[in-house]
């Protein structure tokens, strides 16, 4: 039912302002999406760590580029396995959603690479431990970008 509050002396319906992004993100529905995202992310992250380990310890790749490759492998799998479960009900087409997912992942990749390089350069952390720490921050950035901009579920 419209609110017939007065505005400048007129009796006109006043539209309620839509809730801000933070209010839209802090709901149980988005919390469930974040939980599902976490399950998918952790699963593909372990695979990405395996790729990282194989590239660094078995094939002699430098750690930072290897982290980028592992990140891209994990994110591609994340899109295909997580699309229907995490962001169910999206009307985004498969191919355009994948392209947008990878664009959003590039923001996460930038966060990952910068923070990862900093942790490796300025802390005594093992490269795999540093990668796990960085993944929390990058994962939240990518989740919000996908929930709001790509799949439009928030």
For 103-112, write each residue's pLDDT tens digit. 998 898 899 8
The answer to the question of residue 11 being in a domain is no
**In this model, does residue 19 exceed pLDDT 80?**
yes
Which range of residues forms the domain containing residue 59? Answer: 21-150
**In this model, does residue 11 exceed pLDDT 90?**
no
The answer to the question of residue 74 being in a domain is yes
Nearest to 37 by CA among 66, 93, 79: 79
Q: Are 82 and 37 in contact (CB under 8 A)?
A: yes
The answer to the question of residue 16 being in a domain is no
For 20-68, write each residue's pLDDT tens digit. 999 999 999 999 999 999 999 889 989 998 999 999 999 999 999 998 8
In three-state secondary structure terms, 65 is: helix
The answer to the question of residue 3 being in a domain is no
The answer to the question of residue 93 being in a domain is yes
Percent above pLDDT 90 for the chain: 56
Q: What Rg, from alpha-carbon coordinates, does the chain have?
A: 20
Residues present in the chain in total: 154
In 4-137, the DSSP E strands lie at 6-7, 10-11
The answer to the question of residue 127 being in a domain is yes
The answer to the question of residue 83 being in a domain is yes
The answer to the question of residue 5 being in a domain is no
| Number of domains making up the chain | 1
pTM of the model: 0.70
Helices (H) and strands (E) in the chain, counts: 5, 2
């Amino acid at each position: 039912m419209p609110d017939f509050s007065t505005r400048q002396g007129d009796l006109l319906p006043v539209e309620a302002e839509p809730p801000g992004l933070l209010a839209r993100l802090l709901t149980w529905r988005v919390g469930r999406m974040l939980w599902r995202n976490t399950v998918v992310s952790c699963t593909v992250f372990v695979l990405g760590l395996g790729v990282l380990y194989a590239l660094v310890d078995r094939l002699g790749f430098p750690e930072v580029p290897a982290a980028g490759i592992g990140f891209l492998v994990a994110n591609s799998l994340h899109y295909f396995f997580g699309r229907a479960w995490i962001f169910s009900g999206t009307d985004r087409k498969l191919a355009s959603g994948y392209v947008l997912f990878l664009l959003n992942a590039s923001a996460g990749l930038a966060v990952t690479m910068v923070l990862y390089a900093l942790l490796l350069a300025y802390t005594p952390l093992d490269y795999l431990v540093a990668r796990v720490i960085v993944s929390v921050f990058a994962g939240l950035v990518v989740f919000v970008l996908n929930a709001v901009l790509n799949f439009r579920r928030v």
